[in-house]
Amino acid sequence: MIKFISEVSSNHHRSIERAKEFIDLSSEAGCWAVKFQLFKIESLFSKEALEVKPELLKRKDWELPTEFLPILSEYCKLKNIKFSCTPFYLDAVDELRPYVDFFKIASYELLFYDLLIKCAETSKPFILSTGMATSNEIKHAVSVLKRNGCRNPILLHCTSAYPTPFMEANLSAIDTIGKLTGCEVGWSDHTVSPFVIHRAVHKWNAKIIEFHMDIDGKGEEYLSGHCWLPNQIKSVIEDINNAIISDGSGIKEPTKSELIDRDWRADPIDGLRPLRSYRENWD
């Protein structure tokens, strides 16, 4: 099955109950993992950026309280779903390490090599988004990870536009990145387009799909237009998993549902249905 990761991002309202609801709905939708973000505005943006754009300070209301981490981790175990959280500052790696099942680094931090190294040194599974990056930047990031203990990083192709026009998804880059790095490559979606996810899976063999989710249209990021609602993504996950099941074993033999009709084929002698051997057994 395809591994779907539900990205809560900044839609939790700093409410533990709302955060748990994200976990509930992600699990019910069929997600493999749910992911949060751990950042502090003063360590996310430079002093100059905050002076030029003081409105960025309002995002302090989007920060995830660190005291939530053990609670959310345990709740994910209860709901049988993986827990992850993106670190945006170095100390966040230490704060997250006891609780997360894997680390995920955002596209904007791809050049923050100290952060990549610190995550790699934990030996935990690692996923890196590659939005905005060039081929050389991706190759270098992968080499940094592998030199520091991360043997099998997973990469996510994405377009870092919120939302992403579907014609700019450039899904064929999934194949390009895979050939370039030898890594498994998935898709991080910002299009909110079911056909884009279907294409990423069925044409470009993406085994991991990340998407942004909101539970009710009231999250901080929902109006930007890149967040899925639970029922929207649930139907996509069901369709994709059912499509994969339909591939079957590839062995050409009668299926269970066909067996009842095998005797009703045309007989090779008289061309009539059912088979003569079946007719002879009629009372």
218-252 burial, b if ≥16 CB within 10 A, otherwise e? ebbbbeeebbbbbeebbebbeebeeeeeeeeeeee
Nearest 5°: phi and psi at 69? Answer: -60, -55
The pLDDT score that the predictor gives to residue 1 is 85
| Closest C-alpha among 167, 107, 165, 161 to residue 134 | 107
Q: What is the pLDDT of residue 145?
A: 98
> HSE of 34 in the Cβ direction (CA atoms, 13 Å)?
29
Using an 8 Å Cβ cutoff, are 93 and 115 in contact?
yes
For 77-125, how does the pLDDT look when each residue is reduced to its tens digit (9 = 90+)? 999 999 999 999 999 999 999 999 999 999 999 999 999 999 999 999 9
CATH topology of domain 3-245: TIM Barrel (3.20.20)
Q: What percent of the chain lies above the pLDDT cut of 70? A: 100
Token output for 221: 């990021």
What number of H helices and E strands is found in the chain? 11, 9
Give SS3 for 103.
strand
- Contact call for residues 90 and 113 (beta carbons, < 8 A): no
At residue 217, the 3 state secondary structure works out as coil
Residue type, 46: S
Task: Write the CB contacts of 129 (distance below 8 Å, at least 6 apart in sequence).
Answer: 104, 105, 106, 107, 110, 155, 156, 158, 160, 188, 210
Query: Cis before residue 65, ω within 30 degrees of 0?
Result: no
Determine the pLDDT at residue 281. 87
pLDDT at position 278: 94
Q: What is the mean pLDDT of the chain?
A: 97
Determine whether 179 is exposed, middle or buried from the number of CB atoms within 10 Å of its CB (0-12, 13-18, 19+).
exposed
pLDDT in the model for residue 188: 98
What pTM was estimated for this model as a whole? 0.94
Q: Please give the pLDDT value at position 169.
A: 98
Residue with the two structure tokens 């430079």? 46
pLDDT at 12: 98
Residue 283 in this model has a pLDDT that exceeds 80: no
Judge whether residue 68 has pLDDT over 80.
yes
pLDDT digits (tens, 9 = 90+) for 249-280: 999 999 999 999 999 999 999 999 999 999 99
Question: Are 86 and 104 within 8 A, CB to CB?
Answer: yes
Q: What is the mean pLDDT of residues 213-226?
A: 97
The predicted structure's pLDDT at residue 282: 86
> Under a CB-based contact definition with an 8 Å cutoff, are residues 173 and 179 in contact?
no
Extents of the domains making up the chain: 3-245, 255-283
Report the distance separating Cα 79 and Cα 81, nearest Å: 6
